[in-house]
């Protein structure tokens, strides 16, 4: 089967391309850049912008399914830039599915679409958690709109499903871990609150597996069609244990210092004001949304994903840490 993967050059995107190729599929990746790793996998690459409708339609020509994984992520940027990539881009993918008669779309969403300040989520499924309100981050706000568009598009000719993996990490991570390590080594990393809030994460192989499981079960009228699912390891641990486990696995200093939530939130508000007012580079070290995320309990019920498409995490948190340690060990 010929399958389009958007954002195939990213951390999860490469895992999806690798897994699909291993399953014998022909894969086309739609990226902004070009990646040697995808060439090595035998993945065809089409360069373009998700917001360019004609480019997306051209990339999807001849495909029978789409894994829409590309998005503008991060904690900072204009709402317009996030909207163009995440909402306009997703609508272009949906248009491409309709134009080419593509019957299956697996969409990579995020638990952030359910963010509600510091309201905890403990052991609930997607059907039990409403969409978020007062989303202060354009990433979360635009991903919410995009997810709703994807689920609303589900019908008798196009089966769609939205997966919300929580904090993906693992060997080859070029997003979460590098940021943690950089701040830890610079002595600038703090736990917001006392670090006792329970959180869940997703090892990269498990995140990819959930996408493959959903894809294999997805069809018009299937149990998972038109629905969203939280995806994680199903192993809630404290924020302190999670962060320090990741840092220790790659040989970085662990963190003991804490910052009260009220202080972190105030710092986030000040940073947002400065980054809006001044031409400062990069992302602010703290935002109000990030402060809320770091102090709040977030873990989920994997029961719905197991019931509807057989998702069972294969790599435990500790096994993932062992893989990370082995990959980070000096040669």
Task: Please list the active-site residues.
Answer: 139
Distant-in-sequence contacts of 261-269, Cβ < 8 A, 24+ apart: 261/118, 261/192, 261/193, 261/291, 261/295, 264/190, 264/192, 264/291, 264/294, 264/295, 265/291, 265/292, 267/291
Asked if residue 202 lies in contact with residue 163, where contact means CB atoms within 8 angstroms, the answer is no
Phi/psi for 312 (5° steps) reads -135, 115
Strands 44-47 and 26-31: parallel
Question: Where are the strands (E) in 56-194, listed by range?
Answer: 65-68, 104-108, 121-124, 159-165, 168-169, 191-192
What the block records as the tokens of 306 is 């197991």
What the block records as the tokens of 34 is 């070009």
Alpha-carbon distance values, 329 to 60, 172, 185 (Å): 41, 14, 17
What the block records as the tokens of 120 is 């905890």
């Amino acid at each position: 089967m010929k399958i389009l993967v958007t954002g195939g050059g990213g951390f999860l995107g490469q895992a999806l391309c690798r897994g699909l190729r291993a399953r014998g599929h022909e894969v086309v990746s739609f990226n902004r850049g070009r990646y040697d790793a995808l060439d090595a996998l035998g993945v065809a690459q089409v360069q373009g912008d998700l917001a360019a409708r004609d480019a997306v339609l051209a990339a999807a020509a001849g495909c029978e399914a789409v894994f829409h994984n590309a998005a503008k992520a991060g904690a900072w940027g204009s709402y317009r830039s996030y909207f163009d990539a995440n909402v306009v881009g997703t609508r272009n993918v949906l248009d491409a599915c309709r134009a080419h008669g593509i019957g299956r779309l697996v969409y990579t969403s995020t638990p952030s679409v359910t963010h509600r300040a510091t309201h905890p989520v403990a052991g609930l499924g997607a059907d039990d958690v409403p969409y978020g309100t007062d989303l202060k981050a354009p990433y979360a706000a635009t991903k919410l709109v995009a997810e709703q568009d994807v689920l609303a598009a589900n019908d008798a000719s196009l089966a769609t499903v939205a997966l919300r993996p929580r904090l993906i990490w693992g060997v080859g991570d070029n997003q979460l871990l590098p940021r943690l390590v950089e701040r830890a080594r610079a002595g600038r990393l703090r736990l917001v609150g006392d670090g006792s809030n329970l959180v869940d994460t997703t090892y990269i192989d498990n995140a990819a597996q959930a996408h493959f499981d959903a894809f294999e079960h997805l069809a018009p009228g299937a149990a998972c069609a038109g629905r969203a699912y939280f995806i994680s390891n199903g192993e809630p641990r404290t924020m302190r244990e999670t962060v320090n486990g990741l840092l220790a696995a790659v040989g970085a200093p662990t963190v003991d210092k804490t910052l009260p939530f009220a202080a972190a939130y105030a710092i986030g508000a000040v940073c947002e004001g400065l980054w809006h007012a001044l031409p400062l580079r990069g992302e602010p070290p703290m935002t109000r949304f990030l402060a809320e995320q770091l102090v709040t309990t977030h873990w989920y019920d994997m029961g719905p994903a197991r019931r509807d498409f057989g998702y069972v995490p294969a790599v435990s948190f500790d096994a993932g840490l062992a893989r990370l340690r082995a990959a980070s060990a000096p040669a």
